[in-house]
Chains A and B, each alone.
Chain A
Amino acid sequence: GNSVTQMEGPVTLSEEAFLTINCTYTATGYPSLFWYVQYPGEGLQLLLKATKADDKGSNKGFEATYRKETTSFHLEKGSVQVSDSAVYFCALSLNTNAGKSTFGDGTTLTVKP
């Protein structure tokens, strides 16, 4: 079956620190990969995505590269801000089942001033 494994949290960083949240996946087909972010009291929202190997998704200073050889999609940001404090979810979706996605367990990030 399909699965997503995320780095366990919580993660606590100081402002301007470098962020990496690891994500690896298992899929029976050739998936699209996503990072969603959930701010306190809100629903999940798409942060970035990549649809094929070696694609790099980027948004708001966050980046993730689709690595087929290591089945990974690690999230990175060079300098985090307090406003980045949120829960981050890695997810995959197979093109053969375009609606349904498989989500990781989420990683809570807290950024301190």
Chain B
Amino acid sequence: DAGVIQSPRHEVTEMGQEVTLRCKPISGHDYLFWYRQTMMRGLELLIYFNNNVPIDDSGMPEDRFSAKMPNASFSTLKIQPSEPRDSAVYFCASTKNKPTQYFGPGTRLTVL
């Protein structure tokens, strides 16, 4: 079975540009999570969905960040406009109503 798929794997952009990160969860999973990982802050939960509905977005740092899940097999995390401090590795994870989460390989974002 395919695991969680994220794209792109690497993204380099300039400050002020819009960035869209994509995630395809494991088929049949009903929870989807977006995390950000940096050296300074470690692993932070940004937002999570259950059955395509956002449940908790309290970790979204500010209004520049938005996330959507239009269907059970696709989610996006958008940053507009991007800033250098957004540089991080962004992970998507999914699970089927179970505590164990399955992580994607991550997207390494660099904002110049």
Is the CB–CB distance between A99 and B48 below 8 Å? yes
B70 touches A (CB below 8 Å): no
Instruction: List B contacts of A43 (CB < 8 A).
Output: 4, 91, 93, 103-106
Output the nearest chain A residue to B31 by Cβ-Cβ distance. Answer: A99
* Size of interface on A: residues with Cβ below 8 Å to B: 20
Output the nearest chain B residue to A32 by Cβ-Cβ distance. Answer: B99
* Size of interface on B: residues with Cβ below 8 Å to A: 24
Instruction: List A contacts of B56 (CB < 8 A).
Output: 100
With A43-B104, A45-B103: A98-B98 Cβ-Cβ less than 8 Å: yes
B95 touches A (CB below 8 Å): yes
Least distance between B8 CB and chain A CB atoms (Å):
14
Contact with B along A74-113 (1 / 0, CB 8 A): 0000000000000001000101001111010110000000
Chain B contact residues, majority secondary structure: strand
Is the CB–CB distance between B43 and A100 below 8 Å? no
Chain A contact residues, CB within 8 Å of chain B? 32, 34, 36, 41-46, 49, 89, 93, 95, 98-101, 103, 105-106
Q: Knowing that A32-B99, A44-B91 touch, tell me 19 more A-B residue pairs with CB under 8 angstroms.
A: A34-B99, A41-B105, A42-B106, A43-B4, A44-B103, A45-B103, A49-B99, A49-B100, A89-B43, A98-B31, A99-B48, A99-B95, A99-B97, A99-B101, A100-B45, A100-B48, A101-B99, A101-B101, A105-B42
Chain B contact residues, CB within 8 Å of chain A? 4, 30-31, 33, 42-43, 45, 48, 50, 55-56, 91, 93, 95, 97-106
